[in-house]
Amino acid sequence: MILVTGATGKVGREATRQLLELGLDVRALSRTPEQAGLPGGVEVVAGSPADPTSLDEAFAGVSAALIVLSGEVADEAANVAAAARRAGLGRIVLLSSAGVLHPVPHGIADEHRAAEEAVRASGAAWTFLRPGPFHANTSWWIRTIRENGSVRCWIGNNPGAPVDEYDIASSAVSALTQDGHEGRSYLLTGPQTLTSREQARILGDVLGRELAFSVAPAEEVVEVFAGITGDRATAVTNVAALHSPRVPWAEPTTAVRDLTGREPRPYRRWAVENEALFAPEQSEQSQQSQQSEGSVV
Ligand SMILES: NC(=O)c1ccc[n+]([C@@H]2O[C@H](COP(=O)([O-])OP(=O)(O)OC[C@H]3O[C@@H](n4cnc5c(N)ncnc54)[C@H](OP(=O)(O)O)[C@@H]3O)[C@@H](O)[C@H]2O)c1
């Protein structure tokens, strides 16, 4: 039995689907199993890495786990590691972040570093997947593209090689099901170095319309983040890191190919497959996507 946390999200849902396709037994953890919408054949159980009381049952009879953390990452990792230790779990694949390699100190990176540390100490054989920015981050642009065909970019316009959630999920499935990945960390990127402006151009090309593009200055983004969280100091360091040109995912890596045996998907493919999200009418799928917009890196 393989356990997937965050199984209703971008990476976990696709990883769950691929594991099922391989004929493996999959257990998915969700805070709201009745709304999970996962394929039949997946055992969906109630719980969350944020709720330590839900984890012993979730880990019972599990040989390997894909751990995706979406709330307080460090605290959730501590809960998961403790439960894994109690269960004597054999293998953990942790969805970490390329942010742990970032030269500029910031809170998101610290959270993921703490999560890796907890998992390292869990006693399970571990593999860390460290993706750069997801292709799906451009779904942040849905509202303004729908409203007026514009993109306001909050993460600066520095070049990087964003990665597709499909490839992160496939990499996770390889690490869960094949030997040889224990004790290894993989910096996952897509195949191309792109700026946000170039992504907007590709998306506009796919949508058949020219999109106006502008970059929000760091001070404006700090105001927005601090307004949401109430924590200005953390907003300042996170925004400084997001706007720093020295990103660890600046160049494509071979990690997806090393793990899956095939090339990672280009951004254009994501844009083609998700074109409907940007159409003026609000579809149910796009509402779900907007609701699941997550952290940055
Ligand atoms: N976006 C990026 O560019 C990027 C880059 C590198 C790393 N990452 C990391 O990737 C992870 C997120 O992966 P993802 O995008 O696949 O996940 P996601 O879609 O954001 O969420 C996965 C699931 O986690 C649960 N969840 C959401 N918010 C939660 C909260 N506040 N507390 C507890 N559970 C919550 C939800 O499941 P239920 O409602 O069913 O419980 C959700 O479906 C994060 O650790 C993030 O730091 C992201």
Q: Which pLDDT score, from 0 to 100, does residue 204 have? A: 98
Percent of the chain whose pLDDT exceeds 90: 88
Tell me the C-alpha distance between 69 and 66, whole Å. 10
Interval 69-96 mean pLDDT:
97
| CA-CA-CA-CA dihedral for 112, 114, 118, 120, to nearest 10 | 70
Confidence class of residue 280 from pLDDT cuts 50, 70 and 90?
Answer: confident
Q: Nearest residue CA, atom 39 of ligand 1?
A: 31
Confidence class of residue 105 from pLDDT cuts 50, 70 and 90?
Answer: confident
Confidence class of residue 246 from pLDDT cuts 50, 70 and 90?
Answer: confident
Residue 95 token pair = 């969805």
CA distances from 287 to 34, 141, 221 (A): 18, 13, 24
Tell me the C-alpha distance between 90 and 34, whole Å. 29
Q: Which pLDDT score, from 0 to 100, does residue 173 have? A: 98
**Secondary structure, 3-state, 73-112:** HHHHHHHHHHHHHHHCCCEEEEECCHHHHCCCCCHHHHHH
Residue 262 token pair = 């095939």
Q: Nearest residue CA, atom 40 of ligand 1?
A: 30
Q: Which pLDDT score, from 0 to 100, does residue 291 have? A: 44
Interval 114-138 mean pLDDT:
98
Does 294 contact ligand 1 (Cβ within 6 A)?
yes
Q: Nearest residue CA, atom 35 of ligand 1?
A: 70
Does 286 contact ligand 1 (Cβ within 6 A)?
no
What separation in Å is there between the alpha carbon of 115 and the centre of ligand 1?
Answer: 14
Q: Give yes or no for residue 193 having a pLDDT over 70.
A: yes
Atom of ligand 1 nearest to the CA of 168: 16
Q: Which fold has domain 2-196+240-281?
A: Rossmann fold (3.40.50)
Tell me if 5 sits within 8 A of 67, measured CB to CB: yes
Confidence class of residue 245 from pLDDT cuts 50, 70 and 90?
Answer: confident
Q: What is the CA radius of gyration of the chain?
A: 19
Does 50 contact ligand 1 (Cβ within 6 A)?
yes
CA distances from 95 to 47, 83, 229, 281 (A): 18, 17, 24, 33
Does 9 contact ligand 1 (Cβ within 6 A)?
yes
Evaluate the CA torsion angle 90, 93, 96, 102 in order and state its sign. positive
Q: Which pLDDT score, from 0 to 100, does residue 242 have? A: 87
Secondary structure (3-state) at 186: strand
Instruction: Give the pLDDT confidence of 222-239 residue by residue, as tens digits.
Output: 999 999 989 999 999 999
Q: Give yes or no for residue 143 having a pLDDT over 90.
A: yes
Secondary structure (3-state) at 295: coil
Q: Give yes or no for residue 191 having a pLDDT over 60.
A: yes
First to last CA, the chain: 29
Best-predicted range by mean pLDDT among 50-59, 152-161, 220-229, 283-292? 50-59
Q: Which pLDDT score, from 0 to 100, does residue 287 have? A: 52
Least confident range of 3-12, 71-80, 105-114: 105-114
Mean predicted lDDT score pLDDT of the chain: 94
Q: Give yes or no for residue 112 having a pLDDT over 90.
A: yes
Interval 164-168 mean pLDDT:
98
56 HSE (CA, 13 A, CB side):
2
Instruction: Give the pLDDT confidence of 2-44 residue by residue, as tens digits.
Output: 999 999 999 999 999 999 999 999 999 999 999 999 999 999 9
Does 6 contact ligand 1 (Cβ within 6 A)?
yes
- Domain ranges across the chain: 2-196+240-281
Q: Which residue has the tokens 């040989």?
A: 63
Interval 93-97 mean pLDDT:
98
Tell me if 155 sits within 8 A of 242, measured CB to CB: yes
Q: Give yes or no for residue 288 having a pLDDT over 80.
A: no
CA distances from 230 to 14, 132, 217, 222 (A): 33, 26, 19, 11
Q: Give yes or no for residue 205 having a pLDDT over 60.
A: yes
How large is the greatest C-alpha to C-alpha distance in the chain, in angstroms? 55
